[in-house]
Amino acid sequence: MYGRRASQLLKEIDSSEADQLAPFNSDVFDQVIRECNEHNSQFQSLIRKMVDQNLDIETTRNEDHYGAAIHHLSLLRNKRCLMAYMCNRAEVIQSFRWKVGPVLPHDIQEKLHFSEKEYFKNHSAAIKSYMTEMDIDLTVDMVPPKDPYIQVRVLEDIGEVSLDDHSISLTKNSLHFLRRTDAEQFISQGLMEEFLE
């Protein structure tokens, strides 16, 4: 049945949690591309057949016309499904830049197609270029802070880190009182957490 594989991709998006990615479904994606190519070749074949019979493509209403219409509409439907699948994944990938920073965790990278990894890398580079040019860091303080300093607990050994006004040794399970802007990058990478008493 035409379009069943493409709708499978959309069901996959619908069944996944918001802002979460399932692994890229290369098998079904490639099957839909092959189906699109088949529809296109059938469509072209039917149109050529009508032209060879000297029939007016615009006004002729025979089995070849209706067959060509079915293949054309099936091709368009599959394209829309593929675009919706890719657009949804692109939106989630863009949101990762703001949630986890410029380096994706390994478990997320495993779910991405090669082209999606490149997309994330280019998206991150564009954001970094903009922040450098405008001399502003858009990744800190996504929610306006109540206090510019926070108490944090280090979750993994980070080592010696040079901050704006001093350097500090960040060892596992140590507590520190840091500026929110200094701690934000480590929190987003899961290396430390805000310590609430």
Which of 25-29, 56-60, 84-88, 111-115 is predicted least confidently? 56-60
Report the 3 state secondary structure along 37-95.
HHHHHHHHHHHHHHHHCCCCCCCCCCHHHHHHHHHHHHHHHHHHHHHHHHHHHHHHHHH
Please name the residue ranges forming H helices in 135-175.
Answer: none
Residue 1 in this model has a pLDDT that exceeds 70: no
* pLDDT tens digits along 29-48: 999 999 999 999 999 999 99
Instruction: Tell me which residue of 173, 97, 147 sits closest to 108, measured CA to CA.
Output: 97
Query: 196 pLDDT band (50/70/90 cuts)?
Result: confident
pLDDT of residue 142: 66
Between CA 8 and CA 15 the distance in angstroms is 11
Residue % of the chain over a pLDDT of 70:
97
- The structural domains of the chain, ordered by start, are 4-134 (1.20.58.1030), 149-194 (3.40.5)
User: Residue 125 phi/psi, 5° resolution?
Assistant: -65, -40
Between CA 79 and CA 113 the distance in angstroms is 19
Between CA 67 and CA 69 the distance in angstroms is 5
Helices (H) and strands (E) in the chain, counts: 6, 5
Question: Helix (H, G, I), strand (E, B), or coil: what is residue 192?
Answer: strand
Strand 159-162 vs strand 167-170: parallel, antiparallel, or unpaired? antiparallel
* pLDDT tens digits along 123-144: 999 999 999 998 888 877 666 6
